[in-house]
Structure 1
Amino acid sequence: MKRREFLNTGLLAAVTGAFAAPTILNAKSPSARKKAKNIIFMVSDGMSSGTLNMADLLLQRKEGRGSTWIDLYRQNRVKKAFMDTASANSLVTDSAAGASAWGGGKRVKNGSLNVNPDGTFNKPILQKFKEAGKAVGCVTTVPITHATPAGFSVNFKHRNMQDKIASKYLDLKFDVMMGGGLEYFDGTKRDDKKNIFEDFNQAGFQVVRDKSQMKNTIKGKPVIGVFHEDGLPYDLDLQNNAELKDKIPTLSEMTKKAIELMSSNSDGFVLQVEGGKVDWAAHANDTAALIYEQVAFDKAVAEAIKFAEGRNDTLVVITTDHGNANPGLIKSKKVDKKFETLFSAKYTNDKLLFEITKNDKPSDVIERIKHAQNIVISDSEAKEILKAYDSHEEGLYNAYNLPFEPLAQIQQNYTSVGWSGMNHSADFVELAMFGAGSEKLTPFVKNYELHNYMLQVAEVNDLALV
């Protein structure tokens, strides 16, 4: 889309020329008269509105504070909107098409990464910003080669080509890329046995594999950090395992370090931050995993706001690519008390179900669930869970066919959290902006419109980068 066409669309229809007349902003917000030298684009992948709400409710009742995201609403410190998340071929998008809409400025088919139905490519936005002189990067709790970071970065016909995406990152020489996905870099795990880590090392990258190495990275050299096979552990499991906590960084720790590394660039930086396992938890109807993963994402939001507040050159975008499973706190007898059982959760359903075997006794299942989540199920419910191990349940991110759905249905009796399903939804989603350029946000946007929005508030001429 050409710049002239963009200015005629709904998102910035009120803008004439490069910038509109100065807008009176909330006194607590940095002035938006300056361009967005830096952009931090934050994605809680697969976050339905109920997920956002429940994380805030949990923090209010457990810790006596609200979430950073909702507090920004309470304090009127952000501009907010609803966003239409459709893809080129469906009202219900997947993460590849969702991220590609932002990354390439056009809607593509589900599963595609910035490749149009006719096979032509849309240049990804991080490549554009890199060419404009900015430092660029992504941090995530899922494989760094996964759909959301890839949608900002590369062109591939299908999101599943993650080994090739890993190799492409080497060619692109982005400044900071951190997350999971060890199997796409480690030669002992790749199908072609090629050690991509060594290639990055020879190309001058700082290759880091744990939290300590990440903390010791220095400015001036690009960083590739891969801390775990597949996605990183759920934050709830991480926080309750001293060994994992010592080795694997949280999303907020990665975010803070990425900002530190890239903020010294004189031309600014663009960083995508993804709470990718919010989506995975929603697919599994894993209530404890979901809410604490959203809380972990919220801590990363706090790091971004901490950097941006008091400045007039940084835009923070906070959103999601789509809803998923539409969870919510549903009225029941003693609903408040039931919800508060989540305060003492130690482990996710993911960890719990992986440890249960179909040969366990019902009493073993009851004891495991009580220890993990302070819920005491009945003998008949324990038998139902054990029986479900023979049903070979399928679903995304469920390679071991664990019975997530039966357990979630049982847990609703004890937490009062219900689900609409186990997959993505077509909901219009939350979009919030803080800082430089945020005043241009209108109340309703389409996902692909954010591409040119970011280019314009950063004063990057798209035509010069084609």
Structure 2
Amino acid sequence: MKKNLTLFLVLVFTTGLFATGQSDSVVKGQDLSLQKAKYMFLFIGDGMAMPQITATEAYLSANRASAPGVEKLAFTQFPAQGLTTTYDAGSFITDSASAGTAIATGSKTLSGVINMDETRTKELKTIAEYAKESGRKVGIISSVNLDHATPACFYAKEESRNNYFNINMQLAHSNFDYFAGGMVRVDKTPEGQKSAHDLMQDNGWLMASNRDELNALVPSDKQVYAYYNSSFTRNSLDYAIDMEPEDISLAEYTAKGIELLSANEEGFFMMVEGGKIDWACHANDAAASIHNTIAFDNAVKEAIKFYQAHPEETVIIVTGDHETGGLTLGFAGTKYDSAFAEIDKQLMSYEAFDHYILTPYKESHKEGGELADILPEIEKNFGLSDLTDYELEMLVSAFYRSMGSEVNESSKTQDYLLYGGYEPLTMTITHLLNQRAGLAWTSYSHTGVPVQTFALGAGEELFNGYYDNTDIFKKMYQLLFPEITVALAQ
């Protein structure tokens, strides 16, 4: 049976590689003595590149050391480290759908496309699907909605990442074993049709929507959908900076996934996405990004615990899909100085400030208000006191924009450059705090800088060097199926 399965996968993989013109890059230079990874973890920090990682390490150091420096995260201490390019088939700056497709399938595609080629006519097979066919169990975990672009790139095929209903139907009909994290977008279900939740329940999935239900799960042959709908960030986990004790963390979902999937004799493949790093960086919220990078690292630590018990059979890969926000460690106003401890003064995310403070204020002051009413909350939650004339001027201008002052046509471009479509007051608050820390942003979108890739465990050495994001798929395939790699090379 195993011999037939191996032959089948050789034929399928060889056909797919020649069809996409990738066979040479996979076959040449193989190390035919590679260890087999029975257990594979792929961690993707969405929007996480060198600036996000370094800002987090500098923040940790600033809170625990008197001299400038960094305090290493767990995954930045991995022995294998590389740089990865991220451009897609149509743009130097990728989006999460095309970047996720490249990592999951080894093929470039256009922004917005999930696991289809750039003509949108050919479906592409994912590393998770190959792993499932080999008898491994598969888990997909994310801190954002599970039908968002990155998690969807491991189970769905869709012309547009915005086709949420189609994507979550594919999740509900998949044969993967463990989905956990944010909810699928059931609000996108057309009237009169069953939602993905309905279908999973009809098909006997185990559903866990709180910590008690999650803790009660034990290894079985049943598929699991473990989701947490937080207090106000619908369909995703709260930002780590906003989490309450009852909230379920990315690390907890990862630990439960390991418990459920590791009982399988054939091993497992698990993809874990730290999706809210990206969301925080789109909003230029350095503190939210930093705390979510720490939360992401805590999830990696759960995999490290498993690796320590199975070092010869486990590989952990950590990467990003792209950089978000154009974060820089340095600001014109602070010149050569940095003050990363300033970040610690922020007690809530931009989103929580909007939800709990600014929105209620706007609703109760529809005839107008004064910045002085909110300044105590700004000082309490962001530490912005002793304001300079420049800072106060920026806050006053943003306050009146948030309260609905009109913007003429000629100033709309300036408005976007200042606020990026977010609440003007909230955006100005985080910008000013970031600048005090010595951090700055260039974009509310993605950028084209390379990301870092790290690896620990079986075949870790493959991930050293400078390579493209499509090569991550090829390296993962080599480690999951070294016997097929040998057959191809021979």
Q: TM-score, normalised by structure 2?
A: 0.82
- Residue number in structure 1 paired with 2:393: 380
Contact 1:341 1:375 in 2 (8 A): no
- Residue number in structure 1 paired with 2:343: 342
Shift of 1:78: 1.8
Which runs of 5 or more structure 1 residues have no equivalent in the other structure?
Answer: 21-32
The reply on whether 1:8 has 2:24 as its aligned counterpart is: yes
Shift of 1:287: 1.5
Relative to structure 1, the CA distance from residue 381 to residue 368 in structure 2 (aligned partners, 3 Å threshold; closer, same or farther) is: farther
CA distance in 1, matches of 2:138, 2:460: 20
Relative to structure 1, the CA distance from residue 235 to residue 335 in structure 2 (aligned partners, 3 Å threshold; closer, same or farther) is: farther
- Residue number in structure 2 paired with 1:433: 455
Q: Per-residue CA shift, 1:335-392, capped at 9, x if unaligned? A: 8774212223210122113321454421222111111122224543431221231359
- Residue number in structure 2 paired with 1:307: 306
Relative to structure 1, the CA distance from residue 406 to residue 194 in structure 2 (aligned partners, 3 Å threshold; closer, same or farther) is: same
CA distance in 2, matches of 1:95, 1:174: 21
Shift of 1:401: 5.1
CA distance in 1, matches of 2:300, 2:401: 38
The reply on whether 1:230 has 2:232 as its aligned counterpart is: no
CA distance in 2, matches of 1:137, 1:398: 35
- Give the partner amino acid of 1:198: D
Relative to structure 1, the CA distance from residue 200 to residue 399 in structure 2 (aligned partners, 3 Å threshold; closer, same or farther) is: farther
Shift of 1:308: 1.2
CA distance in 2, matches of 1:212, 1:328: 41
- Residue number in structure 2 paired with 1:80: 81
Shift of 1:256: 1.0
- 1:332-371 matches, cutoff 5 A: 333=334, 338-354=339-355, 355-356=357-358, 357-358=361-362, 359=365, 360-371=369-380
Shift of 1:71: 5.0
The reply on whether 1:422 has 2:444 as its aligned counterpart is: yes
Contact 1:57 1:66 in 2 (8 A): yes
Shift of 1:208: 1.2
Q: Per-residue CA shift, 1:59-96, capped at 9, x if unaligned? A: 22324683434651xxxx42111111111111110000
- Residue number in structure 2 paired with 1:66: 71
Shift of 1:191: 4.6
Q: What secondary structure, in the 3-state scheme, does the structure 2 residue paired with 1:434 have?
A: strand
Shift of 1:219: 0.8
CA distance in 1, matches of 2:442, 2:218: 46
Shift of 1:186: 6.6
Shift of 1:202: 2.6
* Residue of 160, 163, 168 corresponding to 2:162: 160
Contact 1:180 1:227 in 2 (8 A): yes
- Residue number in structure 2 paired with 1:144: 146
CA distance in 2, matches of 1:13, 1:210: 48
Q: Per-residue CA shift, 1:222-247, capped at 9, x if unaligned? A: 21122122322111011xx4xxx31x
- Residue number in structure 1 paired with 2:5: none
Shift of 1:416: 2.1
Contact 1:114 1:154 in 2 (8 A): yes
- Give the partner amino acid of 1:436: A
CA distance in 1, matches of 2:84, 2:76: 20
My pick for the range that moved more, 133-142 or 304-313, is 304-313
Q: Per-residue CA shift, 1:228-287, capped at 9, x if unaligned? A: 22322111011xx4xxx31x3111111111111111111110000100011111110011
* Residue of 133, 136, 144 corresponding to 1:134: 136
Shift of 1:458: 1.1
My pick for the range that moved more, 314-323 or 61-70, is 61-70
CA distance in 2, matches of 1:399, 1:405: 9
CA distance in 2, matches of 1:299, 1:190: 38
- Residue number in structure 2 paired with 1:25: none
CA distance in 2, matches of 1:164, 1:250: 28
Figure out how many residues of one structure are paired with residues of the other and give that number. 436
- Give the partner amino acid of 2:183: G
- Give the partner amino acid of 1:165: I
* Residue of 457, 465, 475 corresponding to 1:443: 465
Relative to structure 1, the CA distance from residue 333 to residue 99 in structure 2 (aligned partners, 3 Å threshold; closer, same or farther) is: closer
Shift of 1:194: 2.3
CA distance in 2, matches of 1:437, 1:6: 21
Contact 1:186 1:196 in 2 (8 A): no
| Greater Cα radius of gyration, structure 1 or 2 | 2
CA distance in 2, matches of 1:350, 1:272: 26
Relative to structure 1, the CA distance from residue 463 to residue 361 in structure 2 (aligned partners, 3 Å threshold; closer, same or farther) is: farther
- Residue number in structure 1 paired with 2:125: 123
Relative to structure 1, the CA distance from residue 324 to residue 333 in structure 2 (aligned partners, 3 Å threshold; closer, same or farther) is: closer
- Residue number in structure 1 paired with 2:275: 276
Q: Per-residue CA shift, 1:403-452, capped at 9, x if unaligned? A: 55433433344322111221111111101111001122340111112222
CA distance in 2, matches of 1:443, 1:421: 28
- Give the partner amino acid of 1:122: L
CA distance in 2, matches of 1:170, 1:232: 20
Give the RMSD, CA atoms, in angstroms.
2.9
- Residue number in structure 2 paired with 1:28: none
Contact 1:12 1:442 in 2 (8 A): no
Contact 1:82 1:429 in 2 (8 A): yes
Q: What secondary structure, in the 3-state scheme, does the structure 1 residue paired with 2:117 have?
A: coil
My pick for the range that moved more, 379-388 or 80-89, is 379-388
Relative to structure 1, the CA distance from residue 413 to residue 298 in structure 2 (aligned partners, 3 Å threshold; closer, same or farther) is: same
Q: TM-score, normalised by structure 1?
A: 0.86
The reply on whether 1:177 has 2:179 as its aligned counterpart is: yes
- Residue number in structure 2 paired with 1:205: 205
Contact 1:48 1:325 in 2 (8 A): no
CA distance in 2, matches of 1:185, 1:269: 28
